[in-house]
Chains A and B, each alone.
Chain A
Amino acid sequence: MTRRSLAGSILGHAVLAALSFAYVLPFAWLVTTSLQPDVERSRTPPAFVPAPAAAAEAIDRAAGFHAAYEPTLVHYSKGLTRVPVLLFVRNTLLVATLSVLGTILSSSLVAYGFSILRWRGRDAIFFTMLATMMLPGQVTMIPVFLIWRQLGLVDTFAPLVVPAFLGSPFFIFLFRQFFLTIPRDLVEAARMDGAGELRIWAGLVMPLSTPAIATVGLFAFLGAWNDFLGPLIYLADQSRYTLSLGLAMFRTQYGNEYGQMMAVATLMVIPIIVLFFFAQKTFIQGIKTSGMKV
């Protein structure tokens, strides 16, 4: 390695380390706040080092400022009793699970009709579908709300879950692109053997499409877990709130209780981070193939 490239790589590492530190700092702040007693009333700069009470004082003296704090779960216990967070988690999981199941089932069936099957008018309908993805949600938002209201299903999970069972253009598109890579000979051979189309979908195409199923499932889950606008429009009774809505309500009602707010936010973030570390490849691949921003 030449001296110049060595200097370059040291500089590169220094810049990357500094920037990634800046990107991680908000997470540290989130967790620190949730574990720190009375952080909103503490002196600044805020403490960053979790330590037992006895050691905290010594650390403070050594650092010359208020650097250590004794971690406590009091914000979690208070936050969880103040609003029924666990109920919100349950509601969110219910909506998310149904959304994932509905999306995988319906979007793959529809994509099968748009790719494996050949019929007159297929591509015209497909491209119409793609074109309408440009339509901003605000345009259809009001009439769709009025439909659910007419059906008496406002303030139920139906408006959040039923559309997933009717296929969503984005996921149909994703499945279709994947199905098009499946060799036609395999499908033709299955037909020769007398398999019906549903049989081929379930027994051949879907088993070959696990990467696509994983991607669609992951993004459908994230979509439901993170959704705010849908619950905001449709859910009224607090017993049916999702985590998103519950946390937003917490902000409205107890906006000054930062410790508790961060505790609830941490509970909302952790599952997603865990999911990311288990499915890192699917995340990255999904973004690359679809261009979707999470």
Chain B
Amino acid sequence: MNRSKEWRAGLLFISPFLVGFTLFTIYPVAASIYYSFCDFDMVRSARPVGLANYANLLKDERFLRGLWNTAVFTAFTVPATMLTALALALLLNMKLKGQAFYRTLFFLPSIVPVVASSVLWLWLLNPDYGLLNTLLRPVLEAVNAAAGTALRPPGWLVDPDYTKAALVLMSAWGVGGSLILYLAALGDVPVQLYEAAEIDGAGAWHKARHITLPMISPVLFFTLIMGLIGTLQYFSQAWIMTPNGQPGDATLFYALYLFANAFLYLRMGYASAQAWILFVVIVAATVAVFRTTRRFVHYGGEGT
């Protein structure tokens, strides 16, 4: 084949992508930038307003609340899910019988459709009849009887002080994906490294700290970045379980308010500006994590 013919064949094969990319990425990115500088309600055509959307956002209390909620939630959820998945993976990595069975049980929650898991957790977390408080109540009553305290099970999704904790708990249930990745990484650690360390008299902690963690650090890093990007866009669970960020805007997450602005209040320009701020936040957070954690990440072949 001559070169121009090769070129034509290549473009022909990727043409579905080129059409999709132009229609659903290139044009929307350009349009979104433009809208973010416009007043646009879909009824009248977009009217440029300069930086007004961005300026107004910085004065919008609900926007700032959403930003704060999302930052707090991300700061707790990402480490909580990583630690849960890592703890389960280390347990599953022990040489015990029946690990495949346990692995399946830990993995299953992660494939439950998000709407189904959301309504299920709504019920699990019901303050009066939910499973969690049903189990918690006798424990707290025993504590109260013994210590003379007056502890009561929390209201979870109806108590603004506990809503985020409830959602973190739910995230820790669905860590099956990370679990599989960690297990694969643990399985790839060369046994010789442990044997050599044992000859040198290293204990369990020493081996975990100086062999296991460095060897699986690329995967930990990968899940950290993906978790960060995903959680900053947290939407469906909150939308279903705590509509409109209720109670008390405690779960008014960034993407929730963005969606409401776009499709409920029809403030398309305002929401577009919000989307671009989210983009900047995600890039900044990713870069910050890259900068601060890269020196802990060990890639094979670099030497220790």
- From A23, A110, A228, B236 is in contact (CB under 8 Å) with A228
CB nearest neighbor in B for A287: B180
Shortest Cβ distance from A68 into chain B, in angstroms?
16
Q: Whose C-beta in chain A lies nearest to the C-beta of B1?
A: A191
Report the stretch among A54-62, A129-137, A207-215 that lies at the interface. Answer: A129-137
Known: A25-B131, A229-B235, A248-B119. 6 other contacts (CB 8 A): A139-B275, A140-B32, A141-B262, A142-B262, A163-B20, A247-B116
Q: Which residues of the partner chain A approach B255 to less than 8 Å between Cβ atoms?
A: 138
Say whether chain B's binding surface is mostly helix, strand, loop, or mixed. helix
Q: Which residues of B contact A225 (CB under 8 A)?
A: 113
Q: In the complex, what's the smallest C-beta–C-beta distance from B247 to chain A, in angstroms?
A: 15
Other-chain residue from B119, B131, B229, B278 in contact with A247 (beta carbon distance below 8 A): B119
- CB-CB under 8 A from B278, the residues of chain A are 136, 138-139
Contacting residues, chain A, for B233 (C-beta < 8 A): 136-138
Q: Is B240 an interface residue (CB 8 A)?
A: yes
Contact of B120 among A30, A118, A149 (CB under 8 A): A30
Taking CB atoms, residues of chain A closer than 8 Å to B51 are none
Q: Is A155 an interface residue (CB 8 A)?
A: no
* Interface membership of A178, Cβ < 8 A: no
Whether, in the assembled complex, A152 has its beta carbon less than 8 Å from a beta carbon of chain B, the answer is: no
A166-B9 in contact given A39-B129, A138-B255 (Cβ < 8 Å): no
B interface residues (Cβ-Cβ under 8 A, vs A) = 3, 6-7, 9-14, 16-17, 19-21, 23-25, 27-29, 31-32, 35, 42, 88, 91-92, 94-96, 98, 102, 104-116, 118-124, 126, 128-129, 131, 134, 137, 173, 176-178, 180-181, 184, 222, 226, 229-230, 232-233, 235-236, 239-240, 243, 255, 258, 262-263, 268, 271-272, 274-276, 278-279, 282-283
Interface residue A192 (Cβ < 8 Å from any Cβ of B): no
A97-116 contact mask (Cβ, 8 Å, vs B): 1 or 0:
00000000010011011100
Interface residues of A in 1-37 (CB under 8 A from B): 8-9, 12-13, 15-16, 19-20, 23-27, 29-30, 33
Hey, which chain A residues are within 8 Å of B279, CB to CB? 135-136, 138-139
Give A113 to B180 CA distance when docked, in angstroms. Answer: 31
Chain B residues whose CB sits within 8 angstroms of the CB of A247 once the complex forms: 115-116, 119
A251 interface residue per 8 A CB criterion: yes
List, in ascending order, chain A residues with CB within 8 A of B181's CB. 287-288, 291
**A110/B14 in contact, CB under 8 A:** yes
Q: Provide the bound-state CA to CA distance between A293 and B28, in Å.
A: 26
* A139-B275, A276-B108, A292-B177 known; A166+B123 contact, CB < 8 A: no
Beta-carbon nearest neighbor of B25 in chain A: A132
- In the complex, the answer to whether A261 meets B263 with C-beta atoms within 8 Å is no
- Check A261–B131 contact: CB distance below 8 A: no
